[in-house]
Amino acid sequence: MVRPRLYTEVQQFYARQMRLLDSHDITSHAQTFTEDATFEHIPGGGPVATRAAIEKSLLKWDGKHRDTIQRRHWLSMIDVVSLRADVIEASAYLIEINVRPGTKPTIAQSCVIEDELTRVHGQLLVRSRKVLEDQL
Protein backbone atom coordinates (compact mmCIF):
# COMPACT_ATOMS: atom_id res chain seq x y z
CA MET A 1 0.00 0.00 0.00
CA VAL A 2 1.32 3.40 -0.96
CA ARG A 3 1.60 6.19 1.61
CA PRO A 4 -1.34 8.65 1.53
CA ARG A 5 1.08 11.56 1.11
CA LEU A 6 2.57 10.06 -2.07
CA TYR A 7 -0.87 9.19 -3.46
CA THR A 8 -2.04 12.77 -2.90
CA GLU A 9 1.12 14.12 -4.54
CA VAL A 10 0.51 11.99 -7.65
CA GLN A 11 -3.15 13.04 -7.72
CA GLN A 12 -2.16 16.73 -7.53
CA PHE A 13 0.45 16.21 -10.26
CA TYR A 14 -2.19 14.78 -12.60
CA ALA A 15 -4.66 17.56 -11.79
CA ARG A 16 -2.09 20.22 -12.65
CA GLN A 17 -0.89 18.39 -15.75
CA MET A 18 -4.39 17.90 -17.19
CA ARG A 19 -5.37 21.51 -16.50
CA LEU A 20 -2.33 22.67 -18.47
CA LEU A 21 -3.39 20.44 -21.36
CA ASP A 22 -7.03 21.57 -21.24
CA SER A 23 -6.05 25.25 -21.14
CA HIS A 24 -3.92 24.74 -24.29
CA ASP A 25 -0.68 25.51 -22.43
CA ILE A 26 1.13 22.78 -24.31
CA THR A 27 4.62 24.11 -23.61
CA SER A 28 4.05 24.00 -19.84
CA HIS A 29 2.35 20.61 -20.17
CA ALA A 30 5.41 19.27 -22.00
CA GLN A 31 7.58 20.47 -19.12
CA THR A 32 5.88 17.83 -16.94
CA PHE A 33 7.84 15.18 -18.90
CA THR A 34 11.53 14.37 -18.48
CA GLU A 35 13.93 15.45 -21.24
CA ASP A 36 14.24 11.81 -22.37
CA ALA A 37 10.59 10.85 -21.87
CA THR A 38 8.58 8.61 -24.16
CA PHE A 39 4.88 9.15 -24.87
CA GLU A 40 2.69 6.72 -26.78
CA HIS A 41 -0.72 8.22 -27.45
CA ILE A 42 -1.72 7.58 -31.05
CA PRO A 43 -2.95 4.02 -31.68
CA GLY A 44 -0.48 2.35 -34.01
CA GLY A 45 1.69 5.45 -34.10
CA GLY A 46 4.44 4.24 -31.81
CA PRO A 47 6.08 6.21 -29.04
CA VAL A 48 7.26 9.80 -29.34
CA ALA A 49 10.65 10.25 -27.65
CA THR A 50 12.07 13.37 -25.93
CA ARG A 51 10.29 16.28 -24.33
CA ALA A 52 10.75 18.45 -27.45
CA ALA A 53 9.16 15.81 -29.71
CA ILE A 54 6.29 15.33 -27.25
CA GLU A 55 5.65 19.07 -27.27
CA LYS A 56 5.69 19.17 -31.08
CA SER A 57 3.29 16.21 -31.30
CA LEU A 58 0.89 17.71 -28.75
CA LEU A 59 0.98 21.14 -30.43
CA LYS A 60 -0.08 19.47 -33.69
CA TRP A 61 -2.86 17.53 -31.91
CA ASP A 62 -4.07 20.60 -30.02
CA GLY A 63 -4.02 22.81 -33.11
CA LYS A 64 -6.46 20.63 -35.05
CA HIS A 65 -9.57 21.81 -33.20
CA ARG A 66 -8.32 24.38 -30.73
CA ASP A 67 -10.80 27.09 -31.73
CA THR A 68 -13.85 24.83 -31.96
CA ILE A 69 -13.51 22.44 -29.00
CA GLN A 70 -13.00 22.78 -25.28
CA ARG A 71 -11.41 19.58 -24.02
CA ARG A 72 -11.56 18.27 -20.47
CA HIS A 73 -9.41 15.34 -19.41
CA TRP A 74 -10.88 13.53 -16.41
CA LEU A 75 -8.64 11.07 -14.53
CA SER A 76 -9.95 8.66 -11.94
CA MET A 77 -9.23 5.27 -10.40
CA ILE A 78 -5.58 6.24 -9.92
CA ASP A 79 -3.36 3.36 -8.82
CA VAL A 80 0.10 4.22 -7.48
CA VAL A 81 3.00 1.85 -6.79
CA SER A 82 6.28 3.12 -5.40
CA LEU A 83 9.06 1.08 -7.02
CA ARG A 84 12.02 2.98 -5.56
CA ALA A 85 12.50 6.30 -3.83
CA ASP A 86 12.66 8.12 -7.17
CA VAL A 87 10.50 5.90 -9.43
CA ILE A 88 6.72 5.51 -9.25
CA GLU A 89 4.38 3.46 -11.40
CA ALA A 90 0.93 4.95 -11.82
CA SER A 91 -2.09 4.07 -13.89
CA ALA A 92 -5.46 5.73 -14.20
CA TYR A 93 -8.66 5.75 -16.19
CA LEU A 94 -8.92 8.78 -18.44
CA ILE A 95 -12.00 10.15 -20.15
CA GLU A 96 -11.64 12.98 -22.64
CA ILE A 97 -14.76 15.11 -22.84
CA ASN A 98 -15.24 17.53 -25.75
CA VAL A 99 -17.56 20.52 -25.74
CA ARG A 100 -18.41 22.36 -28.94
CA PRO A 101 -20.31 25.66 -28.96
CA GLY A 102 -24.06 25.12 -28.70
CA THR A 103 -23.85 21.37 -28.07
CA LYS A 104 -23.83 19.03 -25.12
CA PRO A 105 -20.54 17.54 -23.96
CA THR A 106 -19.52 14.29 -25.66
CA ILE A 107 -17.04 11.63 -24.65
CA ALA A 108 -14.24 11.68 -27.20
CA GLN A 109 -12.31 8.77 -25.77
CA SER A 110 -12.08 6.40 -22.86
CA CYS A 111 -8.68 4.96 -22.04
CA VAL A 112 -6.15 3.87 -19.47
CA ILE A 113 -2.88 5.68 -18.97
CA GLU A 114 0.18 3.83 -17.73
CA ASP A 115 2.94 6.07 -16.43
CA GLU A 116 6.38 5.78 -14.98
CA LEU A 117 6.97 8.89 -12.89
CA THR A 118 10.30 10.00 -11.51
CA ARG A 119 11.60 12.79 -9.31
CA VAL A 120 13.84 15.42 -10.84
CA HIS A 121 15.05 18.04 -8.36
CA GLY A 122 12.26 16.96 -6.01
CA GLN A 123 9.49 17.37 -8.60
CA LEU A 124 7.44 14.58 -10.19
CA LEU A 125 7.82 14.22 -13.97
CA VAL A 126 6.62 11.63 -16.48
CA ARG A 127 9.44 9.42 -17.78
CA SER A 128 7.15 7.15 -19.79
CA ARG A 129 3.45 7.31 -20.70
CA LYS A 130 1.26 4.92 -22.65
CA VAL A 131 -2.31 5.88 -23.46
CA LEU A 132 -4.31 2.72 -24.13
CA GLU A 133 -7.63 3.56 -25.78
CA ASP A 134 -10.65 1.38 -25.12
CA GLN A 135 -11.31 -0.11 -28.54
CA LEU A 136 -14.27 -2.48 -28.49
The residue ranges of every structural domain in the chain are 4-133
When the pLDDT of each residue in the chain is averaged and rounded to a whole number, the result is 93
pLDDT at residue number 55:
96
Q: Measuring CA to CA, which residue among 39, 43, 22, 46 is closest to residue 98?
A: 22
Task: In whole angstroms, give the CA distance from residue 53 to residue 36.
Answer: 10
CATH classification for the domain delimited by 4-133, as one of 3.10.450.50, 3.40.50.300, 3.30.300.10, 3.40.50.720: 3.10.450.50
pLDDT at residue number 5:
94
Count of CB atoms situated within 10 Å of the CB of 100 = 12
pLDDT at residue number 79:
98
**Is 116:128 a contact under the CB 8 Å cutoff?**
yes
Q: What tens digit of pLDDT does each residue of 22-81 get? A: 999 999 999 999 999 999 987 677 899 999 999 999 999 888 877 788 999 999 999 999
Give the burial string for 43-68 (b: 16+ CB within 10 Å, else e). eeeeebebbebbbebbeeebeeeeee
